[in-house]
């Protein structure tokens, strides 16, 4: 696996392999787990060359403490990527990705950056779009691999891709959420949880599955489903629930009193042991 740390090294590597090959790109912030490696494996199955970035993007953290506490273990990341067959690892510094004279873009994302994660993490999605846009311009991938655990982020990047007119040159490939044997969605932040909290965190997927079943069976109104879910999460050791919400196919929030709109996705975010977890389910 080639390891590059600056733009010149990256450009040199890409120019050496680019002729008549497809490049799959997997952007990450490191602290890799099986979910990230499944993205690498999906890229390896569908393309010729796979490039992964490990870059903890400070501008997408609206909470300085969260940025500081974000787990980092680059030696382990390198070993895992080598085992997964990654072709190239790009590990730049903040100064290389965003030099002092870099002009950040303000993407017209619309309502999607105002709701759910956008509401609780103001500025987060602008930070995400700026770094992904920067990497696309540096790497020129044919396919961009994303995990749907971060479903709203996937939809935001999809909007940015459309705004920047990258399609059809850059194709988004969504991969299913990777879970442990008990059903907990894998996340780099899980490493900050005790074993007891990881057990309690299973309530997230359990309430999502229950909500999906109630919707499909039409056994409860959305408001009742939401309140039952929030109560279950809080009664299972979580300190707070930011949201347990329903959105349609266009990723618009659905009125809890509505009987005419059918949810396409259910999303939740909640905090346990000071660690904020997110999860979702597709109907």
* Distance, CA of 221 to CA of 133 (rounded, Å): 40
- List residues with catalytic annotation: 36
The residue whose two tokens read 């299913």 is: 176
229, exposed or middle or buried, with CB in 10 Å at 0-12, 13-18, 19+? buried
Look at residues 38, 135, 148 and name the one whose alpha carbon lies nearest to residue 89: 135
């Amino acid at each position: 696996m080639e390891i590059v740390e600056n733009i010149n090294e990256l450009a040199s590597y890409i120019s050496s392999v680019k002729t008549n090959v497809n490049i799959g790109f997997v952007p990450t912030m490191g602290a890799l787990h099986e979910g990230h490696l499944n993205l690498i494996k999906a890229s390896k199955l569908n393309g010729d060359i796979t490039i992964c970035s490990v870059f903890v993007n400070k501008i997408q953290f609206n909470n300085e403490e969260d940025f500081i506490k974000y787990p980092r273990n680059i030696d382990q990341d390198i070993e895992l990527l080598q085992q997964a067959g990654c072709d190239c690892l790009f590990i730049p510094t903040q100064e290389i990705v965003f030099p002092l004279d870099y002009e950040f873009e303000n993407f017209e994302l619309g309502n999607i950056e105002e709701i759910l994660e956008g509401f609780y993490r103001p500025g987060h999605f602008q930070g995400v779009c700026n770094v992904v846009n920067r990497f696309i311009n540096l790497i020129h991938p044919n396919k961009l691999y994303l995990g749907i655990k971060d479903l709203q982020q996937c939809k935001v990047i999809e909007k940015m891709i459309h705004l920047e007119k990258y399609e059809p040159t850059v194709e988004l490939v969504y991969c299913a959420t990777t879970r442990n044997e008990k059903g907990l969605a894998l996340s780099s932040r899980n490493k900050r949880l005790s074993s007891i909290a990881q057990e309690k965190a299973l309530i997230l997927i359990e309430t999502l599955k229950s909500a999906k079943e109630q919707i499909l069976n039409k056994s409860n109104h959305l408001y009742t489903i939401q309140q039952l879910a929030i109560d279950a999460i809080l009664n299972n050791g979580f300190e707070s629930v930011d949201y347990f919400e329903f959105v349609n196919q266009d990723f618009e929030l659905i009125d809890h009193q509505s009987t005419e709109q059918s949810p396409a996705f259910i999303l939740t975010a909640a905090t346990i042991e000071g660690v904020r977890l997110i999860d979702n389910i597709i109907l």
